[in-house]
Structure 1
């Protein structure tokens, strides 16, 4: 049905341009019934007939008509091209007409982007020149991303299109120095594309923090960053506090912190689970010799279990009880914060009174 409608539409257009003899000769119902591909082939043949050299089969009147209707023939050829594109790619979004881009689209087609992908690409940051887009796309493809991944990255973080070539290359070189290989680079680009827009000093400061204050080795730092690239987006003070909680509060050593993927998890959820286990008598912070009176579960299991598995299998409790516990813990922590604030206020007042007495 679709091919039939398309054929009738084309016949009306061609008739309007006075190509009746050619229409009747070239557009056959058999080709319409066969398939859209066969129909397009017929249309292409028709286009050649309209624009090709004269042949004995053409009447003298038709020859004069063709000579005087050059513009109409060119218009018909463009119509054929448009119909061919729409028939081969029926799922293209509305308005995705590469004819408007002209030769601008050629380099993107050469890199493997489909017409639909190019249309979506040019809808991002519409005021940017084509060469800027081409540069950014080329660099992302050089990182090992395929065309689908490249488009997803730019859709998640359109500001990447405004990054200079030097910035993108420097960022890629820095991540490679930190141990990121092609697979890791792809993971970062797809899931955390904003990392490519971060200042280089931010990444270097995090590296120093993990090395100098947290005392991780170079190899451990590389593993942490590849397993938990989200750490690059966190504040340095939060990262340091998170490490201190694992090392001092939970008594977990560097190796286990790295292997568990500790920095992937939310600190709030880790604290909730730890305190819940402690109050059930299932976890105990090791002493200075690293000894405990209970067998502590592994950190990896604590943070990676789903909430249901953690509660039922590890804590041997119920999900409802755990939810109530978390609400009560929030109230308890809020009360402690208020008490600490009151104590700080009292100390400040006391210091002010003492300074006043010394002045007198």
Structure 2
């Protein structure tokens, strides 16, 4: 059964997205300032219905969307993905009032969203977060603490913020809040990073929030975060596959045209074998991403492990492919403004955010051993009648 074959409609959609990214969105991205929110680019995503498509998409369509945009314009892909990451908790678990206030603005490309989970001492161990939501009698809570490495901070218009409402309860004591950027006591600062998209810190000095700002239910914010991350992890892999494919395409073009030692580079066995290895890894990563996305859309029980595998393999593959592409291009690939110089800066971050590669390996291993334990327990309950081997003699 050709599970991962795209139908003609999907193929045409992806081709249109790639053309849109290269011809329309990339010029807008190039006019933006690195490290700042590009609001004209967001407006273009809204005007062309891509943000609407984002929120109506299952995991498979989300992966196709992110890979296609990444192939033509990584800035457009990242801008769209960050809108999804910050808004999906509101879409799936928010109140009617929260959705009515913010979803039309985000979909139109007028409002900037952010997902505020990470803290200085709570990165990979997200359940250890310490941003305190201190109860106020009859008036909700006051948020006190800080967040760091928050994409779109401090320029977002609202933040999905995860705070501790029950001390000492780890994952069971976290609440998700929708916090508009203009709340008193909320400040932030940009952080200059290797990757070109905006990242910053947030400081909460007694920021007021009420029951109307809760996303989901008090002390049930961690599942809200996990649901969002399980949806977006395979699509982070799709972003990586798009970058890897762009690097591979550039390498095939370069090695076919560039001459050395009396002929095209592509005729050298070492180069041909390198490009074959790159292409094989890209295709393997793509299939693993699509498999994880299909499992998510089907409601499979092993989605966490599949999502972790997809993100792990695809992001590590992209790092390998982009690095190999730089090597085959030589010094020209590191010149400022070259596609591969851009990809080389972009490709490193996905191996860290939304769960670093080591965290993904831990998730995979935990799922493997849990499945083994369950299988062993099931087998031990079955009493099998010994069967003779062969005929009686």
Decide which structure has the larger Cα Rg and report it: 1
Q: Which has the higher contact order (CA 8 A, sep 6+)?
A: 2
- The two structures have a TM-score, normalised by structure 1, of 0.22
- The two structures have a TM-score, normalised by structure 2, of 0.21
More helix by share: 1
